[in-house]
């Protein structure tokens, strides 16, 4: 059985709750990421800021400014998963709850992140493996 530990990203880009909306925008742009875990000391997971949160906070009519601290916009009620969790179950959970990512934690400490893009990558690899192992279909012209 494959587990999240085998596919999760463990070299994460994180920010703290006192970092600003501008910090998150710059990090997402520079690192080409859509999810930023917000951590406290000892890498304790406090929240998550997503690209969608950034767009909402910076949309016309929003009262948020670039110097708004992330603790004012971060998601704090998070679904998390253990690194030994089953890949299929995690994928189904993401799909059913329409999450873009799942933080992976151990003892409330962030150890990784798995995203919907990680599962798309797995699907692509599986499709490529199928293409390699399936014999080509022959047509009547081949005989």
CATH of the domain at 77: 3.10.580.10
139 falls within a domain: no
Give the residue from 1, 2, 5 showing the smallest Cα distance to 81: 5
Q: Give the span between the Cα atoms of 43 and 11, in whole angstroms.
A: 12
17 falls within a domain: yes
Contacts of 39 (CB under 8 A, 6+ apart): 14, 15, 16, 45, 46, 110
**pTM of structure:** 0.86
pLDDT tens-place values along the chain, 143 residues long? 678 988 999 999 999 999 999 999 999 999 999 999 999 999 999 999 999 999 999 888 888 899 999 999 999 999 999 988 999 999 999 999 999 999 999 988 999 999 998 998 888 888 888 888 766 665 666 55
140 falls within a domain: no
Contacts 24+ apart (CB under 8 A), 130-139: none
* Domains contained in the chain, number: 1
Taken in order 128, 134, 136, 138, the sign of the CA dihedral is negative
143 falls within a domain: no
Whole domain around residue 37: which residue ranges?
4-134
């Amino acid at each position: 059985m494959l587990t999240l530990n085998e596919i999760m990203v463990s070299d994460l880009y994180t920010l703290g709750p006192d970092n600003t909306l501008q910090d998150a925008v710059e990090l997402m742009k520079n690192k080409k990421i859509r999810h930023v875990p917000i951590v406290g000391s000892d890498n304790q997971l406090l929240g998550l800021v997503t690209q969608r949160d950034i767009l909402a906070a910076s949309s016309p009519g929003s009262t948020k400014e670039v110097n708004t601290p992330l603790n004012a916009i971060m998601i704090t009620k998070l679904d998390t998963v253990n690194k030994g969790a089953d890949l299929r179950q995690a994928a189904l959970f993401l799909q059913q709850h329409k999450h873009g990512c799942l933080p992976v934690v151990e003892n409330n400490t962030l150890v990784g992140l798995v995203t919907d893009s990680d599962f798309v990558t797995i699907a692509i690899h599986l499709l490529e493996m199928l293409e390699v192992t399936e014999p080509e279909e022959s047509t009547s012209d081949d005989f």
